[in-house]
Amino acid sequence: MRRVLVAAAVLVSVAGLAACGPTSTSSETTSSVSSGGGVLGASCTNAAIQKYVVHKGQLRIATDDPVYVPWFYANRPENRLGYEAATAYAVAQLLGFSPSEVHWNYEPFDESYAPGPKNFDFDINEISVTAARSQVVTFSVGYFNDNQALVVLKNGPVVKNHSPAALKKYVYGDQIGTTSLAYINQYIQPTTQPKVYSTLNDVKEALTTNQIQAFVTDTPTAQYIASSEGTVALGQFPSTGEHFGLLLQKGDQLVTCLDKAIEHLKTTGVLAHYEQVYLKSYLSIPTIKP
């Protein structure tokens, strides 16, 4: 996955979404989550994990700026609205941190998985877990299973013919270093080498100006992008097991408690609830074959 830098017109639509807001309020996002105090075991109480956090008494969470629907709302992670914002605060609550003890750090997406020390406890930013990234950072277990989806022009040739054989004949583009670009090369295997761009905004512009005929991104982002400018999320591809994980500094022992927190949110149905609240309308597109 990559960050999405959208055009001004799309930002207006995001503002509208944020104004209307999802059906849950910020206080409801953690209402079904057990508070800290031994829920995850003695080794993961708030007192026990203070030796692992960057600043005692605080939980420092990183993400990009700006952040977008449906992962966050109104570019304000602290409002606890959006799938990732709600998940972050639910994890914090399980670790015994109140909302006022959660502090957000700015970390550009492309820098998050670079090697070296981190000034945050974990990063939540639609970061796909890969073998290459895992060599230099530590990931938690997955909190969202991600499918790739195909974005094309509404009136383009791909809409009419997108059989696996036909998909190989189109010109693709995608952002450098992303799992979406890797998906094109590995699974679609087009006859023409995909064009590579610095940002997803550049990729989208290339599509709308007919420099390329299609690109790939994660399904919720594909649906969000395709809400404007004559594009459509044509379909999502079958799962390859790709998933988003919380990112930590390499070897950070806090990951054990983060894993427990995420598994607790899964088994108690909290993540499923967040998916229904924030992602349902972004996931309802047909499956197509690469």
Note whether 137 and 154 are same-domain residues.
no
In a shared domain, residues 133 and 258: yes
* pLDDT tens-digit series, residues 67-106: 888 999 999 999 999 999 999 999 999 999 999 999 999 9
- Does residue 24 sit within a domain? no
159 & 231 share domain: yes
Say if residue 219 is in the same domain as residue 266.
Answer: no
One domain for residues 136 and 48: yes
Note whether residue 70 is domain-resident.
yes
Instruction: Enumerate residue ranges in the chain where pLDDT < 50.
Output: 2-21
Q: Residues 45, 33, 112, CA angle at the centre, nearest 5°?
A: 70
β-bridge mates for residue 122, sequence order: 61
pLDDT at 26: 55
The DSSP bridge partners found for residue 173 are: 195
Q: What is the pTM of this model?
A: 0.82
Q: What is the pLDDT of residue 33?
A: 73
29: its two tokens: 């996002």
pLDDT for position 224: 85
* Residue 123 included in any domain: yes
Q: Which domain holds residue 193?
A: 148-236
141, 227: one domain: no
Convert 256-267 to b/e letters by CB count within 10 Å (16 or more is b). bbbbbbbebbee
What is the CATH number for 50? 3.40.190.10
Q: Where are the alpha helices (DSSP H) in the chain?
A: 8-20, 83-94, 109-112, 131-134, 157-160, 164-167, 179-183, 200-208, 219-225, 255-267, 270-274, 280-283
pLDDT of residue 27: 54
Rg for the chain (alpha carbons), in Å? 19
CA atoms within 13 A on the CB side of 35: 5
User: How many structural domains is the chain composed of?
Assistant: 2
Q: Do the domain assignments include residue 6? A: no
Same domain, 165 and 116: no
- Could you tell me if residue 15 is inside a domain? no
